[in-house]
Structure 1
């Protein structure tokens, strides 16, 4: 009988809003009991962490210490009974098992379980510390009974790391106080009062050993014991600024290494949580009340960096966790999904590990905006603009679809917007992967922020970088910023708000905004809907309020439900219907829609028109996620398209675009005699290049993804999606344009 090894959640240990630094991305060699070596990667965070093979399959130890593959069976994660091996050593038996494993399904199971177990603990944890000019917090240093701090003069060393102006020990860029003073542009000056070290009554394994769910068994008890020992030296009553009876925050550095950086399994994973009697701590409120104030919210960190040696930690992990204390969510995928997020560009993603944790990147324009430390300038008038490096200017621009914004970062209206900032590889940003204008797209959802699930859905991330080169990189790369030399000089966040002529000279960014005469693509010839206001799965029929969920007003239908990044049509008992607004296009229209079936439903979608026009097909058979196409001839401006399905034909729609055929000064037949545009597995390839060609490729949102003058055959890497490839002469005049799908 297979042993159940994970349940991910239980009311006593795992709560949805526990926040932590992500695992450091390293490959480690594990030796199986029979001597076989396997390369593994540590994944997850304090809430749930585990090893995977290098190709992403989850593994865990059985009772004999052998790592096996994990499978999802009978709504539980279980050991498979098959020993894990490196990809190049696997047998046919391994191939059969791994083919049957749905990694996405395993991740979804974890999320469903953890969300189902949210409980009253959430009412206890203080969502954020009020950001006043000055705050002070106690920092307690602790030894275990069997592990002592290795740093010499630890109280002095940690006081310097936290408070010293110009801190430079071990190659540091500054102290925690330096970091937050710089990020806030002098508006926030934290004070950290360091006490200890004290020696705990138990050994490290007692507090930090992992249970069956991968959690440290007694981390809250470690905090309670630390406070009890420090009570002799600390007047805790001075650390309750809002006088609510709870200590605002207890911060603890524990001896030794961190499990997040491949330290011993019994070491604690740095995190922010709460001490909650009867839930995660066996003691009572009286046991954690000192000087009339009760311990609740806490964060803890390791003394040392890495997994061996005695090098003192950097400030990166502390700054990340302190960001949570101030109210910032995690920006990595907290459901352990593998899609790309902000990586090393951002403090609340993988940035805490920059320069081995010594130089976290400065807070982004969005994080400063959210905390009230930066007010961006709204772009709504045509003109030429300059953008100074953010660390020296605290400057950013904001673009919205309406040209207006309430400029409240924590409660934004509208909730979707773009931020433009200038990042240069100096000071805190020295170890960024690139430099230039960084464009961040924000799609705020109070539910996602509260649940710490901001970037868990790849199609509907709450905060993401608009990558200039259109290529994803988990850790970020130099192609993420504009203009990257002169390769990427424009993008169009909204049809009527183009940004172009982006240049970078001696660290200064210049650009032009909103002058239609410079635009190469006629965006008015397309109707585009990306459903960006759909941010979560819903069970209520939203047919009567579609204007609240769609980018364009005028959608209508029946039996329509919200989905992350799109809509779901129909139910098991009722059919559904979705009708577009009037498309505002005439003549021949090419239609493309990104669709996916629901579960095992193979949806047969009936297409019909309101108004003039003739459809090239009246049916789509949706059996897999793909781009489905049709054309409408003889359309007029009032033409609308309807998608209808019967019960048990449920499907998702994630994107919709309708465009007029583009006929330019060079007809299509002639164009293709000198240039061929061919889809490949990784994007597009240009062949038969008989003359120099200026190529620009736009995605469905009108954003420039790729730009280059090609002289010979050329590959262009692109993710899946539909694109417009435009060819220009040296005078900047459009010669030819073609829509193409990369699958």
Structure 2
């Protein structure tokens, strides 16, 4: 039971039956029973409380509420955890991939008369079967079995007596292992072993598998297995969940009697504590014939609910009578070749629909502008296997062939491959509220007699394009349904979005064009931008629409709604208005704009069909310019070098490289005593006020625009690398100082200009877009007075500090210096922040030349400074430690 969520990595697709949707009991370790609902199917299932909250077992095998999803696992909450108070969503479950099934699909159109299929029975050494082979022969083949009908009766009814399955039942065979070895909680491949064992036993007993190749393609068409006991779909995960799969998924396909045996379905012996009913077997057999599941395979909605066999209808039209499985929906019957819909192409009144349970009468109406979408009309009555249906009446089905090519056509609500237009307009199936009710048919419990472009639900396409199809005057008279169908006008106008553009964080424009052969009295549309980066700020009418009144708004969902009324859009082609958008981005980006809900009415007030063409809007980049400011100083001095920033978009991150040529400038922080050893200057700690401003100055001084921002600065490859970030409070557009670099001018600098450059710029806007265009301009730093070797006083050569040797070094280097008079001198090593790392000299010195060595074995690689200070004189140089 601890393996409630099991993953199988395989390349086969597995079809299955949905969960029972009836209350099941779980037992806590202390013996307490709790009543839950089992949701999902063989591949993706979970337990929910009556309120819809998911339960999962914790490490102590206690059933508790799930608190979160982590990858493909449900995470249990603590004991006493209440999901409602913690705002945990209902129906929490992992989205697991489904394996594929590449086994051949039988061609039932090639079948002559009887369709022969095997049903093999297999039991376990520790769990024997309760019902005999004859019981299953009767369930499959006997007319009127159990007073409700056999498997054969069901398929003959839904095929209008065109399909006659004839099951050969054989068994019971004995499995090699005990019951729990093959359970759902052990993984699917164990169930495949059980199927292969049944096949081998049947072959050994003399079964001729060649008789089950009905279409002559060399493959057994529909192998069916029944295992002893119930199925996991009733709640006990140690059982096998009914499913359709293939032996080749576990490399166990086999050839006997000249035919290959691969595709199979497996079903339980027991259901509701008695012999299994035909519903689950009929559903899995539908998969064997090539039909997909029409419930929502990810569990987020109900698909077509109990209204069709390939969804919850395997449990009966009322969800609780699997002895009366629901008919296939008309799309499924069409796929099987058992009915051909009558195509309606013109207005037709008083259409008479006979009960579909008895007569293969279904009408189809194609959407006029979407080749893949169409509607099907059928009259469903409480007769035959549909006897327990919620309510009788007209069912209107909405198909989209684009969605019907994969294994889960109904997993993307509300855009289903096969959807039911529910007459009450509540969309309960899409919302996952039950599996159908009396409000779904027309007129139904709400007395809805109309389905058209303005009704709820409406006859639009899944892409919101009106069809002008109207099914109205819907009448249910005894067992007959009567309707009028209007196809609407065939007049079509085309709406097109022209290419639009605008600068980042500014206003741009895009035009909406209309091609119409007649005057239009009203037009409206909704524009969806993806990604959501455009905000509508205005609409400008032109000559074609100048007498119209216009309204526009930006919805909470970020869509732009525009409506033109009270005038005339003259017949013609071209732009009818221009939209102004604010470009809500700091970076260049292409925005796709899709038009939906485009409605138009001619001058007589009649609605016309509007086809739409999507457009592209380009938010254009705008250069954000970094510029070195003017600065100057003498060799050996420390000066501030400003960087100005002209920005027009909000930014959350700015980074760049600052370099000088010749390399005379180095980052510098005023030396300080790190008394508390925290690696930074703190109020009260002594420092050398190099620039004389009375305050400690670090290597950078932030401008007011980024005051308080996080930043990082360091030297590498004779350049300064600077980054700053503040996502909660982005940098507003402005032109002003960004940062000042406090730079030491080399004592060896020569008089003249030093070229400054800004490069390697990275800017990220406030939304996290990294494509902001950054531009660096050049600048000049002027060395006003050059220095002589080792002397920043320019007065004497007797006081000097030489460049260390070697440099760079690891870990030892030698420093030479001279003092000209008897005085107290210090020689300190500082890091780039100004913190004293090492004191090499701190004593009275006689005039002369000195040499000291620094062993840097215990400090990190990086840029350091060393300073000779004697009396009122000082010289500072830079050294580099590379480890």
With the shorter chain as reference, the TM-score category is 0.5 to 0.7
Residue matched to 2:356: 390
- Residue 137 of structure 2: SS of its match in structure 1? helix
Distance 1:195 1:400 in 2: 47
**Per-residue deviation, 1:315:** 0.7
Q: Which residue of 2 aligns with 1:26?
A: 22
- In the TM superposition, 1:349-388 aligns within 5 A as 349-354=311-316, 355-381=320-346, 382-388=348-354
Is the counterpart of residue 175 in structure 1 residue 150 in structure 2? yes
Asked if the contact 2:6–2:185 (Cα under 8 Å) also holds between the matched residues in 1, the reply is no
Residue aligning to 2:284:
321
| Contact persistence 1:586–1:634 (CA under 8 A) | no
CA distance, structure 2, for counterparts of residue 61 and residue 334 of structure 1: 23
Shift in CA distance, 642/7, structure 1 to aligned 2, threshold 3 Å: farther
Provide the residue aligned with 1:656 in structure 2: 597
Inter-partner Cα distance in structure 2 for 1:75 and 1:654: 35
Residue 143 (structure 2) aligned to one of 165, 172, 175 = 165
Offset from partner CA, 1:668-695 (integer Å, 9 cap, x none):
xxxxxxxxxxxxxxxxxxxxxxxxxxxx
From 237, 251, 274, give the equivalent of 1:265: 237
Which residue matches 2:391?
434
Query: Does 1:59 pair with 2:59?
Result: no
2:267 aligned with 1:305: no
Written as runs of structure 1 = structure 2, the 5 A alignment for 1:538-553 is none
Residues 428-577 of structure 1: pairs in structure 2 closer than 5 A: 428-445=385-402, 448-473=403-428, 474-484=434-444, 487-492=447-452, 493=459, 496-514=468-486, 554-556=495-497
Q: Secondary structure at the match of 2:524?
A: strand
- How big is the shift at 1:399? 1.3
SS in 2 for 1:344: helix
- Identify the residue that residue 210 of structure 1 maps to in structure 2: 185
* 2-structure distance, mates of 1:297, 1:178: 24
Q: Which residue of 2 aligns with 1:251?
A: 224
| 3-state SS of paired residue (2:133) | helix
How much does 1:452 deviate? 1.7
Post-superposition shift, 1:384? 2.7
Gaps of 5+ in 2: 429-433, 453-458, 460-465, 611-883
Partner Cα distance (2:33, 2:487) in 1: 61
Report Cα offsets for 1:5-38 as digits up to 9, x if no partner: 89875433x74x3111111112334343367765
Aligned to 1:199: 174
Mapping of residues 594-673 of structure 1, within 5 Å: 601=532, 603-605=534-536, 608=539, 611-613=544-546, 616=550, 620=554, 623-624=556-557, 628=561, 630-631=563-564, 634-637=567-570, 640=576, 655-658=596-599
* 1:34-86 residue CA offsets vs partner (Å, 9 max, x unmatched): 6776543211111222223334443322332023444666645352442476x
Write the distance in 2 (CA, Å) between the matches of 1:158 and 1:506.
Answer: 38
CA gap 1:440/1:326 in 2 versus in 1, 3 angstroms: same
8 A contact 1:52–1:59 mirrored in 2: yes
Residues 510 and 269 of structure 1: is their aligned pair in 2 closer, same or farther, counting only changes over 3 Å? same
1:343 aligns with 2:315: no
CA contact (8 A) 1:253 1:301 kept: yes
1:478 is paired with a residue whose SS is coil
Q: Which residue of 2 aligns with 1:79?
A: 75
Paired with 1:451 and 1:71, the residues of 2 have a C-alpha distance of 32
Displacement after TM superposition at 1:220 (Å): 0.7
Instruction: Note the alpha carbon deviations across 1:564-585, whole angstroms, 9 max, x for none.
Output: xxxxxxx9xxx99795644789
Q: C-alpha offsets along residues 509-568 of structure 1, whole Å, 9 cap, x if unaligned? A: 22233397xxxxxx999x9xxxxxxxxxxxxxxxxxxxxxxxx85545669xxxxxxxxx
CA distance, structure 2, for counterparts of residue 456 and residue 31 of structure 1: 32
User: Could you say which structure has the greater relative contact order, defined with CA pairs below 8 angstroms and 6 or more residues apart?
Assistant: 1
1:247–1:487 Cα change, 3 Å: closer
CA shift in 2, pair 1:462/1:222, >3 Å:
same
CA pair 348-626 structure 1, distance change in 2 beyond 3 A: farther
1:245-264 Cα deviation digits (max 9, x unpaired): 432221001111111122x2
SS at match of 1:327: coil
Q: CA deviation at 1:317?
A: 0.9
User: What whole-Å deviation, never above 9, does each CA across 1:431-479 have from its counterpart, x for those lacking one?
Assistant: 111111211111112xx43422211122311111222222334322222
Task: Select which of 201, 208, 216 maps to 1:235.
Answer: 208
Q: Compared with structure 1, are the counterparts of its residues 313 and 74 closer, same or farther at alpha carbon in structure 2 (3 Å cutoff)?
A: closer
Partners in 1 of 2:195 and 2:483 — Cα distance?
A: 51
Alpha carbons of 1:458 and 1:606: their partners in 2 closer, same or farther (altered >3 Å)? farther
Q: What's the secondary structure of 1:348's corresponding residue?
A: coil
**CA distance, structure 1, for counterparts of residue 590 and residue 49 of structure 2:** 37
More strand as a share of residues: 2
Partner SS, residue 301 of structure 1? strand
Change in 2 beyond 3 A, CA 1:80/1:191: same
Is 1:144 matched with 2:124? yes
Unaligned 5+ segments in structure 1 are 404-412, 517-522, 528-551, 560-570, 665-697, 702-743
Distance in 2 (alpha carbons) for counterparts of 1:486 and 1:55: 26
- The C-alpha deviation readout for 1:343-363, integer Å capped at 9, x for no partner, is 121111111111520011223
Return the alpha-carbon distance in structure 1 between the equivalents of residues 308 and 404 of structure 2. Answer: 16
SS class of match (1:225): helix
Instruction: Please give the alpha-carbon distance, in whole angstroms, between the structure 2 residues aligned to 1:275 and 1:581.
Output: 57
Secondary structure, aligned partner of 1:198: strand
CA drift at 1:266? 0.8
CA RMSD of aligned residues (A): 4.0
Question: Which protein is richer in helix relative to its size?
Answer: 1
Q: TM-score, normalised by structure 2?
A: 0.57
Per-residue deviation, 1:205: 0.6
